[in-house]
Amino acid sequence: MTTRGTSLLIAGSPRPGGQPAQLPRLLPADGRQAGLPAHLDQHGPLPYRGGPGRLIPDVTESGLTGRGGAAFPVGRKLTAVAAAGRRPVVVANGAESEPLSAKDKTLLRYSPHLVLDGLQLAAEAVGARRTVLYLHADLALRDQLIGLLSERRSGGLDRADVEVVAAPPRFLSGQETAAVNVINGGAAVPAFTPPRTFERGVGGQPTLVQNVETLAHLALIARYGAAWFRGIGTADEPGSMLCTIRQADGSSAVAEAALGTPLRDLLGFPGHVQAVLVGGYHGGWLPAGRAERLALSDAGLRPSGASAGAGVLAALPAAACGLAEMARVARYLALESAGQCGPCLNGLPRIATALAELSGSRPDGCVIADLERWAGLVEGRGACHHPDGAMRFVRSGLQVFAGEIRSHQQGMCTAAAGRAFLPVPAGPGSENDWRMPR
């Protein structure tokens, strides 16, 4: 079943003892968009707990962590915002500005009511009366959600107000403080912390920012309980997660898998895969041979320098030139810098240019040394993790594609001539791109 090039498939790890698989949870089993009556039919009414704080112990017990990439324990975040003492705001972060990721858009298209339920439940849990649905700039999706919201409101389902805000088309739009800036009427650029958003965010109030997938899981935990949530996945990383999988042939799909699922089950690994990018453009490269033996979890991936993150997996075909791909993405990452911090705005473009040279023929001998020096100057010296993530992408790539580097130094490239593989949004745009007209 395909929708705009992204197909829906369900995956899961087989459970010992022959228990029925608990998948899919978030994505509809029949692959159809769930309308409100069907949603309420399947999952029952919105289980409000009748007061702030009552849902939080269940969430903490479930071990749910954020599905936006940082994997922060949700129970702890809810507690911090609820304890802040002033009227908080909840933001459902559906910006999904990572070009390789499509899971949030897919979730919002196929199971929007789970997300909206989770948003209401999170609002009740922290005592918020105002919420914001922060969305990737897609007019069709936005109109659809506005329609659903008014349907829910007239059905008396939603108690907290939901404002829909479009995210500017920039890579940093989904960053927590940048999102808050946009909602406050500013540009999609990160802010210096402290104060953290859970202390001061939208309108100066304590703000809970959660990825839309996290809220969908929360809506299910509220109905079926923490023990149910822990029924799949691993003991340390329970539950399921959505993954965006880009195969070596260019096709891409969104799948729901239990934490701990072997990457082999998700990517297939046909013979012509040379490397796997785990975690998108802030993630880490792994050689195909190693990736084949790893599982989708932080425990499985961290020893190799990657993490489960937001579930972005891309298999690079052998026919592509890893260095050329890296150079293109690095240039994109440089142009997506907010330009606020000296090290990032100076280092990233220089690194991108050096990578471009490295991906050419017979690069200068000092290019690698320059790259090493600049990477060291850029890491940890920005207000946000954009330079850090970019360096993870670059450093891991330099390791994985070391053989390709040696070939280029001798004037050869092992790749076949072909189209670019990793998607990079077009053009640097203008100053206006950083803000959205309301």
Partner 1 sequence: MSKQLRINPIACGGHGLCAELLPELITLDEWGYPVLASQQVPPGLEREARRAVASCPALALLLSAVR
Partner 2 sequence: MSGITSGTALWYASRATGIISLVLLTAVMVLGILVNRQGRLPGLPRFAVTGLHRNLSLLAVGFVAVHVATAIADPFVTIGLAAVFIPLASPYRSVWIGLGAVSLDLIIALIVTSLARARIGRRTWRAVHWLAYASWPVALAHSIGSSGDLQGGPLLALAAACTLAVAGAVGWRAQRTLRTIPRARRVAAVLSSQAGAR
By CB under 8 A, name the one of 352, 371, 377, 424 that touches partner 2. 352
Burial letters 353-382, b for 16+ CB under 10 A, else e: bbbbbbbbeebeeebbebbeebbebbbeeb
> Number of H helices and number of E strands within the chain?
17, 11
| 337 three-class SS | coil
Asked if 409 interacts with partner 2 (CB under 8 A), we say no
299 in Cβ contact with 236 (< 8 Å): yes
Stretch that binds partner 1, among 244-252, 260-268, 271-279, 339-347 (CB under 8 A): 339-347
Asked if 335 interacts with partner 2 (CB under 8 A), we say yes
By CB under 8 A, name the one of 196, 230, 381, 385 that touches partner 1. 381
Angstrom distance (rounded) from CA 287 to CA 307: 15
Stretch that binds partner 2, among 6-14, 90-98, 347-355, 409-417 (CB under 8 A): 347-355
Angstrom distance (rounded) from CA 351 to CA 274: 24
Site residue total, partner 1 (CB under 8 A): 13
Structure-token pair, residue 280: 């998108």
By CB under 8 A, name the one of 349, 381, 385, 409 that touches partner 2. 349
Angstrom distance (rounded) from CA 348 to CA 332: 10
Closer by beta carbon to partner 2, 199 or else 433: 433
> In angstroms, how far apart are the furthest CA atoms of the chain?
69
Q: Which does 428 bind (CB under 5 to 8 A by kind): partner 2, partner 1, none?
A: partner 2
Please state the closest distance from residue 437 (CB atom) to partner 1, in A.
Answer: 25
Asked if 350 interacts with partner 2 (CB under 8 A), we say yes
Instruction: Determine the length of the chain.
Output: 438
Please state the closest distance from residue 377 (CB atom) to partner 1, in A.
Answer: 5
DSSP state of 295: B
Angstrom distance (rounded) from CA 6 to CA 254: 7
Bridge-based pairing of strands 312-317 and 273-278 is antiparallel
Site residue total, partner 2 (CB under 8 A): 21
Asked if 377 interacts with partner 1 (CB under 8 A), we say yes
Asked if 389 interacts with partner 1 (CB under 8 A), we say no
Q: Please name the amino acid found at residue 378.
A: V
By CB under 8 A, name the one of 102, 114, 348, 424 that touches partner 2. 348
x/- string (CB under 8 A) for partner 1, residues 173-212? Answer: ------------------xx--------------------
By CB under 8 A, name the one of 382, 386, 398, 424 that touches partner 1. 382
